[in-house]
Amino acid sequence: MKPGRMVMLVIGTLLAMLGLSLVIAAGTLGSAWARQQQDGYLTVPVERYAVNSYALTTMRADIAAETLPLPARMDQLVSLVLRGQNADPAKPVFLGVARQADVDRYLAGTARSVLDHVQFDPFQARYREIAGSRAPEPPGQQTFWASSSTGTGRHELPLNLRPGNWVVVVMNADASRPLLVDLQAGARSELLGPLALGLLTGGLAMLVVGVPLLLAGAAGLGRLIPAGTGPAAATAPYPARLSGTLDPELSRGLWLVKWLLAVPHYIVLAILWFAFVVATIASGVAILFTGRYPRNLFNFNVGVLRWQWRVAFYAFAALGTDRYPPFTLARTDYPADFDVDYPQRLNNWLVLVKPWLLAVPHLLIVSVLTGSAGLWWARGNGGNWGAGIGLLGLLVFIAGVVLLFTGRYRPDLFALVMGLNRWIYRVYAYVGLMRDEYPPFRLDQGPADPGAAGAGPGTGTGSAAYGQPPSTPR
């Protein structure tokens, strides 16, 4: 690979990634600003807090003027509010904020509950109970409150940020127990709108510079990589061909650390895959208007899939060789190869529905094969993410365990693993807009792709299958 083109690709990718991140952040802040305009505050859901004590307090909030210089009108930057009402709307509730020392003196010897942790969706509140036997005086009669509010129904307590150690206290107005109250916290900032606009401007500027640099670098690299030249042979089940030759002398235990050894490749592939997505979108626009996939971007994208397959074949998707993958987009004599025939014409309008609508059946199957179908929100698991392993990962793990104890990789298992990978990469090619032919619902098992007639081990499966010698690696 040419260093200059690679530098352009890396700089363009980093600028585009940062620009996209800023645009997303601007969208998030803009959405927050719009919600703030509707209600006046950004709020959490109203939830019921129930304790069998006299008072519910927050943990101490330390605001130090030395470490957090506060302007004279801090409320112009950030304003906080606490809204609350008793579970019995006719019963008044007290909301107050005061310094920690004053609250400790007032509630000394009184049973109270300190709110340690709150989780929403689903709602869970965790309290630290402080025992006591003394009944407190009504909170509204105290004079140390910095701010307070008492009333029936829903009412608000402004929380102004000032230096000191502060605690929020919620009680029944008559200082009785137990306490059942519906609370909601909110915040607003006048900075959201200007900050969103600034991030959007900066993000768009980076995208304007980064995307052309990225595409220029990708096209420059793709110019050096010959692609398949024409329609697939009549015997080929699909014009995207994947091959892999099993190493007869595999190490028993190296597969346990291959995923770690491949970390440098993961870093490079993170950049390449971002560039792949951008190049695919740009190519989709070109196909829509011209019916042609820009040849250099096509070569680059095929090279990214080829690089990905070599790393996958080595580290996690096949474990078929102990030979370390090369750092190149071009075809080499590596025992794993991938190639796609360049299409002379593509349907202009099919590009609008091919990668997301028409590909849905295959994407569902691929999600099962790769395990991404197991990454769903587990509502019944305490709100935690649940992870799953796909069929391909399970088979590769079994192959690794068998290899560890027997020193042998079963050829029939390797053939099945290759068939699953072949299915996945055909879908990659289709979703990447490289072909209009719909991928077959079929496992073509074995090391060599059925469409790579005469392709020998290590020669790849690309243009060599059509009477052309493999390209010389650069």
pLDDT on residue 467: 31
- Residue with more model confidence, 160 or 273: 273
CA-wise closest residue to 245 among 314, 152, 157: 314
> 66: burial class by Cβ within 10 Å (0-12, 13-18, 19+)?
exposed
pLDDT on residue 468: 33
CA-wise closest residue to 58 among 96, 110, 10, 5: 96
Say if residue 55's pLDDT is above 80. Answer: yes
The predicted-structure confidence for 302-313, as pLDDT tens digits, reads as follows 999 999 999 999
The predicted-structure confidence for 372-415, as pLDDT tens digits, reads as follows 655 443 434 444 444 457 899 999 999 999 999 999 999 999 99
The predicted-structure confidence for 226-258, as pLDDT tens digits, reads as follows 755 444 444 567 999 999 999 999 999 999 999
Q: Which two tokens stand for residue 439?
A: 């991928």
pLDDT on residue 237: 76
Q: Tokens 């009402």, residue?
A: 85
Q: In whole angstroms, what is the distance from residue 159 CA to residue 431 CA?
A: 52
pLDDT on residue 68: 47
pLDDT on residue 381: 45
pLDDT on residue 233: 44
The predicted-structure confidence for 329-380, as pLDDT tens digits, reads as follows 999 999 999 999 999 999 999 999 999 999 999 999 999 888 765 544 343 4
Average pLDDT of span 201-225: 95
* Domain spans, the chain: 41-190, 232-466
Helix axes 192-222, 263-290, angle to 10 degrees: 90
Are the CB atoms for 461 and 335 separated by under 8 Å? Answer: no
Split at pLDDT 50, 70, 90, the class of 83 is: very high
Are the CB atoms for 470 and 339 separated by under 8 Å? Answer: no
Q: Pairing state of beta strands 55-58 and 112-119?
A: parallel
- Across the chain, mean pLDDT equals 87
The predicted-structure confidence for 432-457, as pLDDT tens digits, reads as follows 999 999 999 998 999 998 876 444 43
